[in-house]
């Protein structure tokens, strides 16, 4: 059966489900079967379904050759639960399916799942606090003004926005999407994570953490080193038959105990879409996309992912490593043991296990490139900084002569307290500037301005109240329209005291 490559885009996991169910219904052979002295037509045995679907999944470019027979059985169980198939007596949902000779048939109802109308990051009621366009506008606005205390961003904050703007732009281009918001909610991205993952690394390219409480426990790290360097491990470790299996279980138990997968729940949709690039002719594009995506991770998660992939890769290539499983090889065991520790959805999805297997297998083969700092992103940011150091700004009273922009140090170390204070001050100043731009935009219609002001007031009530302390000051925005609609009167209420979301 020919399969269609499901390209990146909103709800890719649902589209993949529909693709697999269509292929299964169109290609699975049906025939007559006798069971308990009765003949049933147009049906198939569970074992025949496992055989046929397993071959389909292994040859399908959306999933790959690492799919196991047991994973195929699990998928057929989900087919039964979702009424893609039913047993020959018409039962489904609570029924079970095993790799045996029990008979099943296709359901008469459509097995396809509906695709929601709204992409993940723009469902009704969600407001993108700081879209890429707004961030770019903020940088242009800041650079176009006199660099006084109100408009200059601190060194670290400036780096954050540069890394964010370039990183997100490159990622959108690499995925070939017209709107990255279709697969990534901008509100979930923390620019500080990108900066830390780019700049705070050791000589091996592994992220270093300021807060060691988020790091791997010493005993886990010791166990991982033991497996990665087998049989050259610490002589203080015990030695007995099956010791390596116990050490491996210690490591796997730790990663299974983590509250969420290493790629985090919030970026599940993004990484599932990168899987759409895992085609032979798009291998280089997929590597670049994963380079950028993994920069978004919290530094502690990226560090764990780097160390785990290094261990898995070494173990998979180590011919001296004893068999850790009686039936399957070391690489296959690694893929299927840690796949759900790497990628998973907060709400269990039908194809989670198959997608995670595909991604981990690719990570094992290319982790050295994927988890290194992208040179082109580093260069783009440094070039931008070099340009800003040379830019000429006209100060009032200078007779139009250009004056060099002050040069800033981008590596000045600050305390945690000072950074938090700067982050709050700079964020508030930047958001206040955006509000002022909104107020002074003469090209915007009254209707659009009211709508945007209402959204801004909902997100930043404190900043809005400082700019418009009374209804009269608010009414002055709309010449000839002194009457204020009820939604605009919210500012008269005492604003709730909650922090600004970055």
Question: Model confidence over 155-169: pLDDT tens digits?
Answer: 556 667 778 888 888
pLDDT at 484: 40
H-helix or E-strand spanning residue 225: helix 218-228
Cα 393 to Cα 445: distance, rounded to the nearest angstrom: 32
Question: Model confidence over 290-332: pLDDT tens digits?
Answer: 999 999 999 999 999 999 999 999 999 999 888 899 889 999 9
Cα 341 to Cα 337: distance, rounded to the nearest angstrom: 8
The two three-digit tokens of residue 33, written as one number:
């079967």
CATH number of this structure's domain 131-375: 1.10.555.10
Cβ neighbours around 367 below 10 Å, total? 20
> Hey, where are the domains in the chain?
12-106, 131-375, 416-492
DSSP 318: -
Is the pTM for the entire model greater than 0.75? no
Domain range 12-106, CATH architecture: Orthogonal Bundle (1.10)
Question: Model confidence over 36-86: pLDDT tens digits?
Answer: 889 999 999 999 999 999 999 999 888 989 999 999 999 999 999 999 999
pLDDT at 393: 46
The two three-digit tokens of residue 329, written as one number:
């090889």
Cα 92 to Cα 77: distance, rounded to the nearest angstrom: 10
Assess whether pLDDT exceeds 50 at residue 406. Answer: no
CA distances from 434 to 28, 438, 464 (A): 58, 6, 11
Cβ neighbours around 16 below 10 Å, total? 23
Pick the range with the lowest mean pLDDT from 38-47, 202-211, 348-357, 467-476.
Answer: 467-476
More confident position, 109 or 386 = 109
Angle at 295 between CA 291 and CA 298, to 5 degrees: 145
Q: How confident is the model at residue 401 (pLDDT cuts 50, 70, 90)?
A: very low
Assess whether pLDDT exceeds 90 at residue 418. Answer: no
Q: How confident is the model at residue 389 (pLDDT cuts 50, 70, 90)?
A: low
pLDDT at 118: 53
Q: How confident is the model at residue 402 (pLDDT cuts 50, 70, 90)?
A: very low
Cα 192 to Cα 161: distance, rounded to the nearest angstrom: 9
């Amino acid at each position: 059966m020919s399969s269609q490559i499901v390209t990146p885009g909103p709800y890719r996991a649902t589209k993949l489900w529909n693709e697999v169910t269509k292929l299964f219904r169109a290609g699975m052979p049906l025939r007559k079967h006798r069971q308990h002295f009765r003949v049933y037509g147009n049906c198939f045995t569970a074992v025949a379904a496992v055989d046929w679907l397993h071959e389909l999944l292994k040859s399908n470019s959306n999933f790959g050759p690492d799919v196991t027979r047991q994973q195929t059985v699990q998928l057929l169980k989900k087919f039964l639960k979702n009424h893609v198939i039913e047993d020959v007596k018409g039962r489904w949902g609570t029924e079970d399916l095993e790799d045996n000779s029990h008979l099943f048939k296709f359901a008469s109802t459509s097995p396809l799942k509906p695709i929601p109308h709204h992409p993940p990051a723009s469902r009704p009621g969600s407001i993108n606090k700081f879209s890429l366009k707004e961030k770019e506008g903020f940088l242009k606005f800041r650079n176009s003004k006199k660099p006084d205390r109100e408009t200059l961003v601190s060194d670290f904050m400036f780096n954050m926005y540069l890394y964010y703007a370039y990183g997100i732009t490159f990622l959108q281009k690499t995925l070939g999407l017209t709107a990255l918001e279709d697969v990534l909610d901008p509100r979930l991205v923390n620019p500080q994570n990108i900066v830390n993952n780019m700049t705070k690394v050791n000589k091996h390219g592994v992220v270093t953490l300021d807060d060691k409480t988020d790091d791997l426990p010493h005993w886990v790290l010791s166990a991982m080193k033991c497996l990665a360097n087998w049989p050259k491990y610490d002589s203080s470790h015990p030695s007995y038959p099956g010791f390596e299996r116990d050490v491996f279980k210690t490591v796997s138990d730790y990663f299974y105990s983590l509250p969420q997968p290493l790629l985090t729940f919030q970026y599940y949709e993004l990484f599932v879409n990168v899987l759409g690039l895992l085609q032979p002719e798009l291998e280089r594009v997929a590597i670049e996309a994963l380079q950028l995506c993994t920069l978004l991770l919290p530094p502690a998660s990226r560090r764990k992912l780097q160390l785990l992939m290094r261990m898995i890769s070494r173990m998979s290539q180590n011919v001296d490593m004893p068999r850790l499983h009686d039936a399957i090889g070391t690489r296959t065991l690694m893929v299927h043991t840690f796949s759900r520790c790497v990628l998973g959805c907060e709400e269990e999805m039908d194809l989670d296990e198959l997608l995670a297997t595909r991604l981990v297998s690719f990570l094992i083969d290319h982790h050295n490139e994927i988890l290194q700092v992208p040179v082109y992103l580093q260069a783009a940011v440094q070039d931008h900084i070099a340009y800003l150091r040379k830019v000429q700004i006209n100060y009032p009273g200078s007779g139009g002569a250009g004056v060099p922009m002050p040069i800033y140090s981008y590596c000045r170390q600050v305390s945690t307290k000072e950074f938090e204070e700067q982050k709050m001050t700079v964020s508030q100043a930047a958001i206040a500037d955006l509000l002022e731009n909104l107020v002074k935009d003469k090209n915007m219609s009254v209707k659009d301005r009211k709508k945007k002001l209402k959204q801004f007031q909902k997100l930043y009530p404190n900043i809005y109240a400082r700019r418009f302390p009374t209804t009269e000051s608010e009414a002055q925005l709309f010449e000839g329209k002194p009457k204020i609609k009820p939604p605009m009167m919210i500012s008269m209420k005492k604003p709730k005291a909650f922090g600004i979301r970055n």
